[in-house]
Amino acid sequence: MIEWKDYPLTGTGGPGQAALKVYPEVLSPQLRNYRDILVALPPGYEEGRHRHPVVYMQDGQNLFDPATSYAGDWGLVGTLTAMAPEPAPPILVGIPNIGRRRRYEYSPFRDIIHGGGGGDRYLAFIVETVKPLVDASFRTRPERPNTVIAGSSLGGLISLYGLFRYADIFGAAGVQSPALWFADGAVLRFVEENGALAVGRVHLDVGTEEGDEALHDVRALKRLLVNAGHREGRDLSYVEEQDGEHDEEAWGRRFAVALPFLLGSQGAREPGSHGG
């Protein structure tokens, strides 16, 4: 029997508020470990009949609850609550990282210094275990155009790779401040080699305060995507946030703006940001 429990976060689940649920200790046969899975349901979900698109997000402990976040949460309960007037806002799925195993799980490429190499197993966990659990539990739109993967830093790296690796499952990827440096830029070579694949929408962003190397790498990725046929405003959203830093607050702020694009609506662009 599938048993989701209310997550004890003040201010969720009330009238007009998003509701937060948790499924404790989900087994990953692919990774041989356990973790809680968090799900944020839009306001009015229990009373409604609509089916909803789903966004599968990395570093789930940083998205909703400041008590569990590494350094401030993304504020996504508020983001989802603010989307209430939409006829079918998304369900947000937070998949927590496993601490010291994070680098292993979030990169399919082995870095001689930093590790990595378990990304394919981690993505199989999302596709074969988490997604079926969510689809069986909630009123979802399980088809590719309504299934999004998203994350930041190493979470952005694995989300980018996942869009290519499972092009038949994910229709869009939120790639925020991606750790493109990992394994000596292996993911850039991967995208260049697989650019001909018909992958879905990509939101790509970075803050100007994240350093010259980060800006250089993200701009290089944008060029690869454009060369592969992506076009801004159609299937590519690109933001360089002026004075944006590499932190949870910035990612939550930019994600809220990018969400309509990821769901197939208009492109994302916020004040103080520009394409490069």
- Which helix (H) or strand (E) element contains residue 147? strand 147-152
Q: Are 180 and 84 in contact (CB under 8 A)?
A: no
Name the residue type at position 123.
L
Residue 236 in contact with residue 225, Cβ under 8 Å? Answer: yes
Q: What integer is the mean pLDDT of 102-116?
A: 92
Angle (nearest 5°) at CA 250 between 245 and 256: 155
Q: pTM above 0.85?
A: yes
Closest by CA position to 88, among listed 263, 267, 271, 268: 263
Stretch 1-14: mean pLDDT: 85
User: CB-hemisphere CA count at 13 Å for 125?
Assistant: 24
pLDDT exceeds cutoff 70 at 272: no
Distance, in Å, from the CA atom of 8 to the CA atom of 22, rounded to the nearest integer, reads 9
User: What are residue 176's phi and psi, to 5 degrees?
Assistant: -110, 125
- For 149-159, the pLDDT digits (tens) are 999 999 999 99
User: Crossing angle for the helix pair 154-165 and 182-193, nearest 10 degrees?
Assistant: 30
CATH class of the 5-274 domain in this structure: alpha beta
User: What tokens were used for 213?
Assistant: 């190397």
- Which residue ranges make up each domain of the chain? 5-274
- Of 19-23, 111-115, 147-151, which gets the smallest average pLDDT? 111-115
Write down the pLDDT at residue 193: 95
Which two tokens mark 47? 């009373």
Judge whether residue 274 has pLDDT over 90: no
> Which tokens hold the place of 16?
């007009």
**How far is Cα of residue 126 from the mean position of the Cα atoms in its chain?**
12
Maximum mean pLDDT: which of 6-10, 110-114, 236-240: 236-240
Kindly report, residue by residue over 39-95, the tens digit of the pLDDT. Answer: 999 999 988 889 999 999 999 999 999 999 988 899 999 999 998 777 789 999 999
Taking 70 as the threshold, does the pLDDT of residue 139 lie above it?
yes
Q: Of 1, 6, 35, 4, whose CA–CA distance to 19 is shortest? A: 6
Q: Is 33 helix (H, G, I), strand (E, B) or coil?
A: strand
Q: Tell me, what's the pLDDT at 115?
A: 83
Q: Which residue has 């429990």 as its token pair? A: 5
pLDDT of residue 267: 39
